Structure formats: C-alpha cells, structure tokens
Structure 1
Amino acid sequence: MTNATTPAGGTHGTLAASRPYDIVVFCHLRWDFVYQRPQHIISRLAQRKRVLLVEEPWHRPEQSGSSLRSVQEGLDVLQPNVTDIGQVGSIVTEYAGTGASVGWFYSPAFIGVLTELSFDQVVYDCMDELSLFRGAPAQLIEQERMLLRRADVVFTGGRSLYEAKAELHDDVHCFPSSVDQDHFARALKGLPVPDDMAALSRPIVGYFGVIDERIDLALLDGTAELLPDVQFVMIGPLAKISPDDLPRRSNLHYPGMRDYQQLPNYLQCFDVAMMPFALNDATKFISPTKTLEYMAAGRPIVSTAIRDVVREYADVVQIVNSPTSFAEAVRSALAEASAPDYTAILTQTSWDATVRRMESIIAKQPA
C-alpha cells in the first residue's frame, strides 16, 4: 500500500502525469467500509484497467490537502478533503487530468463533476435507491434524472431496481448481487473460531452487514424474547442509528464491524443465517448480497419478505413476517439435518462472470 497527499491548494502533478486512469469511479461508500458491490466489481475491473475510485468528500481541517492511496495494483482511492461535493471535480483533475475513457457512478450526487470532467462513456451502476434512504438530500432525485440523461448505459443491483430504471433509460441491464463463492465456502472447512464467537453458547442465529434503518429492530427483539436459549449475533457497523436504538437482551450481541477476510470464520459459527430487514422505503429495491454469501457457506436462511429475495429464492429461504413466524422458522431450520441444496443457484452466479458481462456491454457502446 502506498499513500500520497496533495498540498493544500496544490496539485499532485507527477502522480497525475504518470498514472493516467482508464476508469474514474464516483462512490458514496468508503472503500474501507463494509465490503460489498462496489468493492467486488471495481477490484475486478482494476485487474485489467487502471482505476481511480473517488469517495464522497470527507473534510478534515487538520489535514493538508486530499489523500490518494493505492489499495491494489491498478486501483487507487481518492478522498477529497473538501466541504462540498461540488468541489470534487476540480480535485479529481489534479490526480487524473480532465477525464478518462469511462466515468462510473454509484451515486447521482456526483453529477456536478461532468461540468469539469469529460468521459467517452458514462456508466451508472445503480446498486440502491439512495433517494429513499434516511437523510437523503432532496435534490438527489433530480440529480439522478440528470445522470440518467447523461449515462450511456445503466446497470442495476437487482430485478426490482431494473424494472424501475428501465422506464427511465433505454439501455438498462440487470446485474443482481453475486458472490465470491470460494471465499465464503471456506466456512465449510473448519476455520479457526473467533474468540467472541467461541464464548457464545449454541445455537447461533447470525447476520453480517450494515445495521441501519433497514433492520427491523422490533422484529429482532421480539424473536430474541421468544427464543431465550438462542444467541442472535448482528455483525457490522451502525449507520444512521444510535447504539441507544439497539434492543438489549442477554442473547442479543453486537460485535461491531469485522474485516471481509474474517467473515467466513464468523459465518461458520452460524447455525442459521438471518436477514431481518424492515419492509420500508429503504428496502423496497434492495437485493441483499449476503443471501448468496450465506448460501455459499451452506447455511439455512431466514428472511423477511424482501421483494427480490421472495421472487428469486422463496423455495430455499424461509420467509417470515413476525417474531412468531421468525421463531418458528429458526426452530424448523435447527431441526433440519442440513441446509437446502443451493448448488443450482450458486453455479449460475459469480462476481467474475458479472464483471466480464459488464465489460462486454461497455465495449459494445459507441465511444
């Protein structure tokens, strides 16, 4: 890993001149946050192209200038040290010049960079309906309209999102969440058990991912009350909610965020994997990546009625709608000798195949 920082008010001219980028990515998520769709896709694109990923601004008055670091061969991450996302375009020019072959957007909030940067192609990879998330700025809807007008191609992170965006753009392609099967199948191979999991009694019902307004905390609390001998483990960082919002019981555990490389070690300890999502605006279009990750680890899965989960996996995932049905589903899963057979599902998907198909579509676009 290498790090570089621009002087305040200056440029990193040598870096910009010696490291032209093929793709510049604009992402609302931090690279070091929960490892999910952007990390899976962009890390693979960077195996064949030079990529600059630009995070949302993070103003640090104690630091002079923005920072750039290499996270793998072919991939740099830029953290603009400015107060306004409208200033990002000028910062990017210091590192990448005035454009690249592809501008790849995860958030419409970056639309302003197109006044300063020029791309041969604009890709919008819509992984979530961000305008429905808690605290989303009101202008995000209009910013997305502008991005859809400028985008040459649109990818979506699930079928529900595809159906919504296909009405707004004439070249939309559905790429639901995929899986790094080899990584999560390690949970079947007897990995070292983390100390915080070894301290818990069995059975364990577990979740990993962001803990935010998309989690049905009342459902979690009610189910834990009905199953006092079952340990419920919620692994992941809090976002947009306070620790005070979390239900507290002796069988509810919140270890915090764990590194992506450690997740199979934790997942092997789950007797049942859960997705206790609330049914609200923020979950209306989600297609949870963890569904397939749980499957790759061979775990029985219990989920609330997320639309894309029901449509794609209702025959192998137990769907619940209340603490009572959740508790019954857990008891049923624990009584089974093994999880459902996910082979047919898993053989049809991989992040490698997803990225190859994306690259093929982009290559066919007129430059």
Structure 2
Amino acid sequence: MEINPKSNHLDYDMIVFCHLRWDFVYQRPQHLITRLAKNYRILVVEEPQPTTLNGHSPFVVREVQPNIHVLRPPVQSMESIGPFLKKHLKNRVFPIGWFYSPSFISVLETLDFGTVVYDCMDELSLFRGAPAQLIDQENQLLAAADIVYTGGKSLFESKKLKHHNVFCFPSSVDINHFSNVSDISMPDDLKDIPQPIVGYYGVIDERIDLDLLRKTAAKSPETSFVMIGPLCKISESDLPQADNIHYLGMKSYGELPQYLQHFKIAMMPFALNDATKFISPTKTLEYMSASKPIISTRIKDVERDYSNCILLINDENDFCEAINKASSQVLGEYRKILEKTSWDNTAESMKNIIEKVTA
C-alpha cells in the first residue's frame, strides 16, 4: 500500500529497525511489536532492498495490522536509510527508536529519538557472515541507548557489563496458541511419514548440529525426524539425507501448532558453537505449551533453566536413549514454568520501563 508520506497517517510514535523480515519466521520482534501497537503507532524498517531508482525511489509502506506499517527502504546501503526516512517522513524527532540490530546505527545521525531502546535478541556478531564492523556499531548503539533489553540470561550477563540500564526479558510464549488447537487433523505432508515423529521447527542454519541429526537418524531408523523451517546461510547440499529425515519447508506461525500436535517428541538439536553461545530458544516454551517431551543439546540458557524437565544430550547415543526415555511425566514442571510468563506480560513490562525513563 502506498501512502502519502506527508499525511498524518505517518505520524509515528515508534520506529523499529529490524534485521529480520516481517514475513520471515514469526518470532520475538513480531510478538512484541504487535502488542506494543496497542499503545504506539509503529513503523518497522527492514534492511534495504537496493534499487536502481536512486533518489527517485518511492516511499511505500505495508500496513500489516492497525498501527503497524512495514517499510523495506529502496536504497543502496544501510547508511542511506536515515536520509531516505528524513526525506519522506513528516517528522524529524520521534518518541522512541527501537533497534534489533546495531547495523542501523547510522540513522541516529539523521533522526532524533526521545528514547533509544536496544532489544538484543541475539549476539549477531557471532553469526556466520556477520560484518566485521558490527562490534563497533554495537558499541555505538550501547552508548546511545537509554534502555537495553536482552532475550536471555546469557545475553544479559554479557550486556550488563557494557551498559547501566539492562533488563533481562527471555523470550516468552502465547500459551493458548499452542495448547488450544482447533484443527488436530494430520497435515497432508505428514500423512506419509511413519510414526513416531521427533520434530523441530525454526530456522535451519549454522546453529543446527546437522552431523548430530545425521548420526542419530542412522542409529534410530525406526524414528522419523522432521525438520520444519526455512534454510538460512546454508544450502540444501549441506543437509543430511536419509529415508527417515524429512524437510517440510517453512510453515506459518498459524500452522505450527497443528504440526506440533503430531510430534511425539520435540527436539532442539543445536550445535554448541559461537552462534548458539547466547541463544535462549523461543520454541522451548512453545513446545512446553503443546505438552511435548523435549530433547535438547546443552545450550547454556536451556540447561540452567530447564534441566529438571528437558532431556539434555551430548551426542547421538544420548539422543537415541532420550527418544526411548521420553515421556509426559514432566508436564507438571511445564505448568510451573508457563504460568510465570506470557508475551502480553513481557510487552507490558517493557512499555512500563520506557514510561519510567521518559517520565
């Protein structure tokens, strides 16, 4: 939808700068932004989509729901985003600037924000292909930020050494979305896959231990291993192939509960590497909400928070043993964990902190 950039319709309260596409995997940014939109008019700015139109590029936003517009700037570089916004937005000063990636730091040279928030959901500098300047850019963002939120305890411990106002908000969950499933029929692409199914959903990238998956599938041929999600920064040729490993591609957030209902066990086969050093997987609580036994490698935040109710593994032998041991006897522990968290509460707490800073 193309909107007149000088109209009052573009008088935003918050501009969110996000390295993830809005239409990619539905995760922390979407959960929080949709809830914050109850109180703020929000523009989500994605990474650029280069164009040959140069200075004549149109300003086109999509309204994804009331109070949320999404813009993919048609500019050549991250440094061009600030001038592009200055040219097309009515205001130059905005109440809140909310950053998911330090790579957008140059916009602070052009636009002013009453409050700068850095919601650090990942240690992006440790991801494959991360630009060398990202560490310096984060230092600049931390210097400019009034508030820093982190997506897990390990990130909190790291960032609190660099900023005076850091708050830990681990990823949360919409329990009803995963527990009250209206359609429990078998999805078509699961119908020919033999049970039992050990399943994963999420991005499939360098954070997944593909060798562990290959070895476990070989040692447990009677089990079907289902991987749901898009490939990112790896290719299909990197994926282990076996008769009992099935890749179903990306599914929408709305479809995930239906698939999850047909997993006997949910898995988190993460590699232990730089990219997973600080992660706190959102899917942990989603799996719990669906009452699924969970098998995970020893991700730090998972192990210290959930070792009493998740089967933790070191290798393919542990994995096969855990498949045989997995049961639903931990559901009482799940309930204790889930009753303490929700995306609604997290978004409300974040909003209250912003209001205190600006009071």
Give the TM-score band, short-chain normalised. over 0.9
1:137 corresponds to: 131
Q: Distance in 2 between matches of 1:327 and 1:110?
A: 44
1:346 corresponds to: 338
For residue 4 of structure 1, the aligned residue among 2, 5, 24 is: 2
Q: Distance in 1 between matches of 2:98 and 2:197?
A: 40
Q: Distance in 2 between matches of 1:295 and 1:210?
A: 19
For residue 124 of structure 1, the aligned residue among 118, 123, 133 is: 118
Say if 2:75 is the partner of 1:82. yes
TM-superposed deviation, 1:64? 5.2
Normalising by structure 1, we get a TM-score of 0.94
Say if 2:348 is the partner of 1:364. no
Amino acid at match of 2:190: M
Count how many residue pairs are aligned between Structure 1 and Structure 2: 355
Equivalent positions of 1:192-341 (< 5 A) are 192-333=185-326, 336=327, 338-341=329-332
Amino acid at match of 1:201: P
Distance 1:119 1:295, change over 3 A: same
Amino acid at match of 2:15: V
**1:159 and 1:174 in contact (8 A); partners too:** yes
What is the CA deviation profile of residues 89-141 of structure 1, one whole-angstrom value per residue up to 9, with x for unaligned ones? 12222135313100000000000000100000000000000000000000000
Q: Distance in 2 between matches of 1:36 and 1:315?
A: 25
What is the CA deviation profile of residues 62-109 of structure 1, one whole-angstrom value per residue up to 9, with x for unaligned ones? 895343100000100001011201011122221353131000000000
TM-superposed deviation, 1:21? 0.4
Q: Distance in 2 between matches of 1:14 and 1:166?
A: 40
Amino acid at match of 2:40: K
Amino acid at match of 2:262: C
**CA RMSD for the aligned pairs?**
1.5
For residue 51 of structure 1, the aligned residue among 42, 49, 61 is: 42
**1:57 and 1:79 in contact (8 A); partners too:** yes
What is the CA deviation profile of residues 283-319 of structure 1, one whole-angstrom value per residue up to 9, with x for unaligned ones? 0000000000000000000000000000100100110
**2:266 and 2:295 in contact (8 A); partners too:** yes
State the 4+ residue runs in structure 1 displaced beyond 2 angstroms.
Answer: 12-15, 60-67, 336-341
**2:6 and 2:90 in contact (8 A); partners too:** no
For residue 21 of structure 1, the aligned residue among 4, 12, 21 is: 12
Normalising by structure 2, we get a TM-score of 0.96
Q: Distance in 1 between matches of 2:78 and 2:28?
A: 22
Gaps of 5+ in 1: 6-11
**1:203 and 1:231 in contact (8 A); partners too:** yes
Gaps of 5+ in 2: none
What is the CA deviation profile of residues 151-187 of structure 1, one whole-angstrom value per residue up to 9, with x for unaligned ones? 0010000000000000000000000010010101134
1:8 corresponds to: none
**1:66 and 1:79 in contact (8 A); partners too:** no
2:226 aligned counterpart, secondary structure:
strand
1:148 corresponds to: 142
What is the CA deviation profile of residues 259-306 of structure 1, one whole-angstrom value per residue up to 9, with x for unaligned ones? 100000100010000000000000000000000000000000000000
TM-superposed deviation, 1:48? 1.5
**2:292 and 2:328 in contact (8 A); partners too:** no
For residue 168 of structure 1, the aligned residue among 162, 170, 195 is: 162
Task: Answer with 338-347 or 170-179: which moved more.
Answer: 338-347
